[in-house]
């Protein structure tokens, strides 16, 4: 049947399918962009913490109220998470696990502050949304995880 003779709903459905396919082709780029963006935010935060460790310890002792962990443990664990997990996330190596770990770091950061400005809270919500998407849908085709998976299936 020629396109001109197709019912309008069939032409609309075909157009919709082409649009969806075009958007799906962008998915790996979107996943990589999310990984890079969120990783940069947390990695830079971790670098700030190790640049002035005495201030970091003071913040964890006096300002941040991390639940269940003493400040002497929360400071190095949080800083290590902010430095190691972003590297894994950028590579897409253990991508879902890295995203889940950063999601936890993000939630703990919000819960640890007695008061948080609305703009800061919105940033944390945005980062958490990106991380949750990466946990649910994975780091994407442009990741070490995907490369290893494809290679393993060929063997």
- The per-residue pLDDT for range 27-67, each reduced to its tens digit, is 999 999 999 999 999 999 999 999 999 999 999 999 999 99
Q: What pLDDT score was predicted for residue 5?
A: 80
Residue 67, burial from CB neighbour count under 10 angstroms (0-12, 13-18, 19+): exposed
Distance in angstroms (rounded) separating the CA atoms of residues 98 and 84: 9
pTM of the model: 0.88
Between the alpha carbon of residue 104 and those of residues 53, 66, 135, the distances in Å are 22, 12, 12
Distance in angstroms (rounded) separating the CA atoms of residues 55 and 112: 16
Q: What is the dihedral of CA 71, 75, 81, 86, to 10 degrees?
A: 140
For 90-108, what is each residue's pLDDT tens digit? 999 999 999 999 999 999 9
Domain boundaries, the chain: 29-154
């Amino acid at each position: 049947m020629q396109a001109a003779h197709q019912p309008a709903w069939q032409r609309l459905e075909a157009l919709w399918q082409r649009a969806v396919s075009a958007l799906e082709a962008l998915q790996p780029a979107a996943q990589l962009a999310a990984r890079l963006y969120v990783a940069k935010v947390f990695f830079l935060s971790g670098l700030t913490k190790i640049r002035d460790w005495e201030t970091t310890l003071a913040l964890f002792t006096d300002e941040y109220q991390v639940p269940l962990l003493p400040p002497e443990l929360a400071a190095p664990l949080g800083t290590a998470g902010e430095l190691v997990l972003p590297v894994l996330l950028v590579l897409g190596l253990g991508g879902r696990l890295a995203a889940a770990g950063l999601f936890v770091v993000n939630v703990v950061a919000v819960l640890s502050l007695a008061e948080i400005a609305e703009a800061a809270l919105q940033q944390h919500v945005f980062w958490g949304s990106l991380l949750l998407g990466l946990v649910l849908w994975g780091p994407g085709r442009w990741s070490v995880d995907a490369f290893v998976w494809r290679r393993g299936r060929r063997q």
